[in-house]
Amino acid sequence: MPAYRFAPLILSALLATGLAGAQTSDNPLLTVSPLPLHYPQFDKLRDEHFAPALDQGMAEQLAEVKAIAENPAAPTFDNTILALEKSGRLLSRTTTLLFNLLGADANPARQQLQTDYAAKLAAQRDAVLLNPRLFARVEAVYAARDKMAPNAEAKRLVERYRRDMVRAGALLNDAQKTRMKAINAELATLTASFNKAVLAEVNDSAVVVDSADELAGLSPAQIAAAADNAKKRGLDGKYAIALLNTTIQPFETDLQNRALRERLHRASVARGARGNAFDTRGTVSRVIALRQERAALLGYATPAAFVLEDETAQSADTVNALLRKLAPAAMASARTEAAELQKLVDSDQAAKGQPSFSLQAWDWSYYADKLRSAKYGFDESQLKPYLEITSVLERGVFFAAQQLYGITFKRRMDLPVYRDDVRVYDVFDTNGKQLAIFIADLYARPSKRGGAWMNSYVSQNPLEGTQPVVANHLNIPKPPAGEPTLLTWDEVNTMFHEFGHALHYMFNQGRYPSLARVPRDFVEYPSQVNEVWADWPSVLANYAKHYQTGAPMPRELLDKVARAKRFNQGYATLSYLSAAIVDQRLHQLKPGQAPTADGIVDFEAQVLKEEGVDFGPVPPRYRLPYFSHIMGGYSAGYYAYIWSEVLDADTVEWLKANGGLKRANGDVLRTKLLSRGGAEDAMVLFRNLVGHEPDIKPLLERRGLVVQKP
């Protein structure tokens, strides 16, 4: 069955409608793209093409499902499960493209489509998963799966279909199903509303500055970009600092003006709770209440219990144990780091002949950069000239993949793109045959949601003979025309991380598309492993070259990068953990306990205090009013990053013990992990790779955390 039916993130964010028009004869969505690997025809696509394709796609899918459900022949794997797996292609193709563009390049027409079709597509999903005759056939195949399934992967597919239908409500009575459909429709509409509001709030909350003097500490290119941003807003002669989706804003590292850092920080944390048209607190409250009701209908005590049953963690108790084991160590490390920063504040103010002040959240990044410079002899400004975007991508990210897996890349300029700064590459396998097409959409824009992510435009599908068209999306500030794009170290790591997702998707060799999906607390694991190559000596030496002279990064600077890896890890860990803990506590509330709109912010503060992670200088990475992860596919799942990092750090130790960056290791990774998708139990894949159960020690060592024994 097309993946969109079972992917909550996609389901909650696609959904669309309403634009009339588009004759079928010129609608590129109604036929498979004739471009290489069925790459989308962005140059021919118009927004008015979506509604007719969605309508036709829904009608076609319902007709296909009806034929399967009412087939007079006895249920078999082929006429039921395999038939479902092949159904709904037009709808899947259309929703995939719409969802991807809503994330990467939203506009009012696409957002209106999302709003108008949210409930319709939720109802479409329910019409399939809650169809009693269809479920009866799936149940019959499931009961005889040992005989009917032609192989172990097919058996797993049968079990996946049955499980998804049960978790959707297939075992409910008619009245309960009716209520479930209403809940799903409202949730889809609310999520679309939340996504639209968060994007609008980010653009509305930009901090406007009157004078370039206030921007001391920023580079000339950053100041020029702020001036250009203001000009686009009709504010000629001023400067506008656009916000990114995280709580802490990147410019807080460089701005010397403390009052401006505070303005920037307060604008960031106020998002979604300002009482304006973009206030999301009521939406968050209602979503949690509906998720509680849905979980209760399905027999689960809380939304977290429902979600985690389908993950490798399996229970809230397991997740709580991990988070509460790490939180005290992260807090202790963060307090130690804060004490060091406070000393720097005191000495810095004394040198100026000015009174000192207590370290605040808007001071941390600024003074942490100063402290890192003092302790390790470098700061971001020293690194950036060696981290030019094209070199990092092609001579770093691609080079590491070539060394490890033997795949090669070639940029192509002939395929259409939805934005001029989007890049496209052919990816070739070790035998010289094309493996995939890779899209690199790296720059921030007002129409793009925050963060970084991977998605696919075309899936690997042996049933149709298709190969992947995969995209990575980042939000790197775009410099003025003619200026180089020089990255921060975090942005370099993010580029390697997201390409790890792309590799996982490109290498999947499963027979059935629906089994490409892996648990959310496992999907981050291979991508986090790929981050190890960012500062691997041979990789770093290949891409870290001065953008003007081509000179390699000096050896002493490379060494400083390596020595500073543990720096500020208490802060980074606590900021992340506090957000993950709030997510868990919110979704572990029982029906009737959802905070009201006015109580959302207070609930967050109460949880931070109760869990011992309330530390003013280190705010949560996301606050609830703009925590897009948990309104989408990571509800009760933000813990997944640290859960996956346990597996990641353990795997990196395995890589190092076996010689690191070499083809033999890449072949093992590809064969035992990356090519398997969800065709086998996730933790079995991990154990097959490293040869033992997960060990938390490598993670603690990496982050410099010490967990006290009970």
CA–centroid distance for 337 within its chain: 29
Residues known to be catalytic: 498
Cα distances (angstroms) measured from residue 491 to each of 368, 474, 498: 17, 8, 10
Which tokens sit at 648?
Answer: 């990641």
At how many degrees (to 10) do helices 640-657 and 316-352 cross?
90
Round to whole Å and give the CA distance between 149 and 152: 7
Q: Where are the beta strands (DSSP E) in 305-451?
A: 408-411, 423-428, 434-443
| H/E segment holding residue 120 | helix 108-129
> Looking at the DSSP assignment, which residues form a beta bridge with residue 438?
425, 470
Q: Where are the alpha helices (DSSP H) in 205-280?
A: 220-232, 258-269
Would you say how long the chain is, in residues?
A: 710
Round to whole Å and give the CA distance between 157 and 152: 9
Round to whole Å and give the CA distance between 88 and 59: 9
In this structure, are strands 453-458 and 207-209 parallel, antiparallel, or unpaired?
unpaired
* 279 in Cβ contact with 600 (< 8 Å): no
Query: Which residues, at least 6 apart from 144, have a Cβ–Cβ distance to it below 8 Å?
Result: none
Cα distances (angstroms) measured from residue 380 to each of 165, 244, 373: 50, 19, 9
Location of structure tokens 């302790």: 375
CA–centroid distance for 709 within its chain: 34
Reduce the DSSP state of residue 695 to 3 states and report it.
Answer: coil
Round to whole Å and give the CA distance between 50 and 597: 34
φ, ψ for residue 392 (rounded to 5)?
A: -60, -45
| Angle 110-116-122 from CA coordinates, rounded to 5° | 110
- Other CB atoms within a 10 A radius of the CB of residue 588 amount to 19
Round to whole Å and give the CA distance between 302 and 299: 9
Nearest CA to 660 out of 529, 545, 544 is that of 529
**What is the Cα gyration radius of the chain?**
25
| Angle 487-493-495 from CA coordinates, rounded to 5° | 75
Round to whole Å and give the CA distance between 627 and 621: 9
Nearest CA to 476 out of 262, 250, 199, 254 is that of 250
Which tokens sit at 96?
Answer: 């995939």
| H/E segment holding residue 207 | strand 207-209
Burial class (CB in 10 A: 0-12, 13-18, 19+), 255: buried
Round to whole Å and give the CA distance between 298 and 171: 9
480-498 burial string, b = 16+ CB within 10 Å, else e? eeeebbbbbbebbbbbbbb
Round to whole Å and give the CA distance between 553 and 595: 52
Query: Which residues, at least 6 apart from 696, have a Cβ–Cβ distance to it below 8 Å?
Result: 646
